[in-house]
Amino acid sequence: MSNSAQAYWRENIRLVVILLAIWFAVSYLFGIILVEPLNAIKVGGVGLGFWFAQQGSIYTFLVLILVYAKKMNALDRKYDVHED
């Protein structure tokens, strides 16, 4: 495998790990582990921990998908492996 391909793969994996860590923090930590302390903060009459468990993790996941697509398009162009 060439140095360019290794660098591309390394950056790709780094991005995936960062995005998965964010998703883990929002869905598992905020929605399950830290739900009680976060519920002390009210958003629209509902505890923040409950909101993260019910909707916040889904919204975050959708945003992470968009971020991943945008970052991967930029990475593909950087390493000249884009398809257009």
Distance CA 15, CA 27 (A): 18
Q: 82 versus 72: which is more confidently predicted? A: 72
Mean of the per-residue pLDDT values of the chain? 92
Structure pTM? 0.83
Residue 58 clears pLDDT 80, i.e. is over it: yes
* Helix/strand/coil for 46: strand
Could you tell me which residues are beta bridge partners of residue 46?
43
